[in-house]
Structure 1
Amino acid sequence: MKRNLALFTALVLVISGTTNAQSAKTVSAFKNWPAGSAPKQIGNRIASRFIATPHTNFNRPGPPRVITYPETCTWYGALTFAKATGNKKFTQQLVARFEPLLGSRDTLVPIPDHVDYTVFGSVPFELYMQTKDARYLKLGKHFADKQWGPPEGKRVTAESHRFYNKGLTWQTRLWIDDMFMITAVQSQAYRATGDRTYIDKAADEMVFYLDSLQQSNGLFYHAPDVPYFWGRGDGWMAVGMSELLRSLPKDNPNRPRIMQGYKKMMATLLKYQAEDGMWRQLIDDPASWKETSCTGMFTCAFITGVKEGWLDEKVYGPAARKAWLSLIRYINADGDISGVCEGTNKKNDHQYYLDRKRITGDLHGQAPLLWCATALLR
């Protein structure tokens, strides 16, 4: 009986999308786009570019050893965009891109022993929800379950056991990037299965990160020992919170705490938005360069908050519109966005963040474009 109820619940959640987005309202700021700037047009360009691009390796020459997390994030964005626009051709192409990973090229599938690898599970979960192919569900669950399982593998440290014994994932490391990597796959696991355990655990994890890393101004240090408000790092947190909140059940006891942290961050981001709508590599440093991946992530968080009714439409709607219209000016004729900060480890050095290379076409920047387009169309 319990099994039948669980299956029924999962079916209902899959049909409904398991998100509050089904009732998302129409926003005046998100209508009447100038020629060439509509979300569907931009999303089509970026998704087409991704589909035509071979597996990438952090802008290094040659193919990757395994699928990288920026590719995972872009793949997920392309799939959700295809769903939002009803583009069956895109969905079929994205399925075809994945099929070799279930056979001849299965060595490209990461081992889920680190947040950057475990987030890969969000893609097969999305494929399952769109195709109902049970192979994708099995693979997605393997990734989501390993995140909460006991520590194992070569990456295990004493801290892994300490966090695991506190009821957190053993992959916890207190880098703000984690709060997209963990919440994305676990929110997807909930959407695909209807099992609240996944998203409830992710909410517990989010509160731990909020309590550990959010500062009094609402922004986040890259890590406890790195006191800088790095744009994309904070971007992962902004999108991670909004992605979690749009599916987190209303009766989850952590929801008010996460919403409070989210709104506090959004209010501060509004203050630091540049006149042209962009945000900077170091959010609070006016001498820092304008960076596109964080701008895309913050824009997505604003759009989601406005459409879900969490943020004041009259304040955040125009801010999101301005950001989108500024952001897409960085897209070149090939469908690649410029001004993307290269992959960045943590370092307690202000100049280190300012000196990071600015890349064109990096998937760290392509993914948020697709997230924004999907959020605007959802």
Structure 2
Amino acid sequence: MANILKRGFSILFIFSLYMFYITACRQIKKENANISDEMPLTVSDTIPWSERMALSIMKRNPEIWQTENDSIPKWNYKIGLLCTSFQKLYEKTGNAKYLDYVKNYTNKIVDRDGNIAGYNKEEYNIDMVNSGKMLFWLYDETKEDRYLNALITLREQLEGHPRTNSDGLWHKKIYPHQMWLDGLYMGAPFYAEFNSRFENEDKLNDIAHQFELIWKKTYDGNTGLLLHAWDESKKMRWADKQTGKSPNFWSRSLGWYMMALVDVLDFFPKDHPKRKVLIQQLNDLSKALVEFQDESGVWFQVTNLPDREGNYLESSGSCMFAYAFAKGTKKGYLSKNFNMVAELTFSAILKEFIQVDQDGEIHINKVCKSAGLGGNPYRDGTFEYYISEPIVTDNLHGLGPFILAANQLNK
């Protein structure tokens, strides 16, 4: 009897081990399947280019803030640009993984009371406003007060933001009396959306004034293009002593401005008198840019000097132009000819800048890492300066606009 009981216990023990093993294997297989579903080991070439790039980014960076190679999450305009591109993907596909990728970041950097980690309103840096655009749709999706409170904080920055004597928002407190083309993208679309949603559109004239002022102060009659920046004080070494204009054209700054125009127009009612002004700016600048498009289909870092030694075809500005042309056409601001320009540009972007790995993961090359004016070390705005900045791969200045352009063109 004892031997029978002993043998039965052994069989039961072995069976229990077997069932534990089977259950564990199933659980591991299930977890691996979930990981595979969320982050495939290969990126299919049968899905749109926008999603191919998004999945490649997510594969390389499980957290969106890691795209900046930071050790902790930080709030900056480049992350905001990428988050905006993921927002547009989510709106088009309805795929929650794009929403979650952004929400996981904001939940780390925006606390329950709406305080933004590392953000200091008193710095009056207009770049910091750009990331706020992601908070509108996160608030719509989640109804969490943290996002509304953070939106209000950023709006308060604009309310107290220092201005030129002609009422233009400074680029940053550390760059007094200056307006840069970049700043129109950083501040105007957020300002317009907040004003449209919560303030009865009573500031649209002020928003349009920002475009009218910088156009007047940076426009170049010979090319039809806008110079990178303007210093009202004319004290900066890079500023012309008569006009305050910076000395050169930079494609990405023009790209920022083009994207600012097509995005801010979303919030100008059709009967608003300044809407026509902004649409005219978009048309005039679009026509001027086409004159400087390289035969390859993309644009040079210094827009108007293709034959100058050291100049190079640059990807971020080219992606921004493609996005603006495509959206401008779809919205009816531009003639249908510009959709053909956008299609040509995007095809050229794929040829000139996109690298595809064996597993389908994609990268964007020839991105100017950064460029600006003044500061320390001093950036003098010369041709030599613009071509001296590092040229990198998979920088957010290129990744975000590529997704926006691809998504807009349904590529």
TM-score normalised to the size of structure 1?
0.78
Q: 1:37, 1:321 → 2: CA distance?
A: 18
TM-score normalised to the size of structure 2?
0.73
2:348 match: 326
Query: What is the 5 A alignment of 1:77-88?
Result: 77-88=85-96
Q: 2:116, 2:149 → 1: CA distance?
A: 17
Query: What is the 5 A alignment of 1:232-251?
Result: 232-251=252-271
Query: What is the 5 A alignment of 1:99-178?
Result: 99-103=107-111, 108-112=117-121, 113-149=124-160, 151=161, 160=162, 162-163=164-165, 166-169=166-169, 173-178=178-183
| Conserved? CA contact 2:65–2:73, under 8 Å | no
| Conserved? CA contact 1:300–1:372, under 8 Å | yes
CA offsets, 1:295-317, max 9 Å, x none?
A: 0100111001111122221x212
CA offsets, 1:145-166, max 9 Å, x none?
A: 32123x5xxxxxxxx3544xx5
Paired AA for residue 201 in structure 1: D
Shift of 1:199: 4.1
Shift of 1:193: 3.5
Query: What is the 5 A alignment of 1:34-113?
Result: 38-42=48-52, 44-45=54-55, 48=58, 52-53=62-63, 55=65, 62-63=70-71, 66-103=74-111, 108-112=117-121, 113=124
Flag the structure with more relative contact order, 1 or 2, with Cα contacts below 8 A and sequence separation at least 6: 1
Shift of 1:368: 0.3
| Conserved? CA contact 1:81–1:373, under 8 Å | no
Q: 2:338, 2:330 → 1: CA distance?
A: 10
| Conserved? CA contact 2:63–2:105, under 8 Å | no
1:222 to 218, 228, 237: 228
1:309 match: 332
Q: Alignment partner of 1:103: what SS?
A: coil
| Closer, same or farther: CA 54–371 of 1 in aligned 2, 3 Å | closer
| Closer, same or farther: CA 84–229 of 1 in aligned 2, 3 Å | same
* Structure 1: gaps (5+ residues): 1-34, 152-159
Q: Does 1:345 find its partner at 2:365?
A: no
CA offsets, 1:104-150, max 9 Å, x none?
A: 9966342242111122211212312333333212211220232123x
Q: How many equivalent residue pairs? A: 330
| Conserved? CA contact 1:118–1:185, under 8 Å | yes
* Structure 2: gaps (5+ residues): 1-44, 172-176, 231-238, 240-245, 374-379
- Taking only the aligned residue pairs, the percentage that are identical comes to 21
1:299 match: 322
| Conserved? CA contact 2:53–2:362, under 8 Å | no
Q: Alignment partner of 1:55: what SS?
A: helix
Q: Does 1:370 find its partner at 2:403?
A: yes
1:186 match: 191
- Point out the structure with max Rg over C-alpha: 2
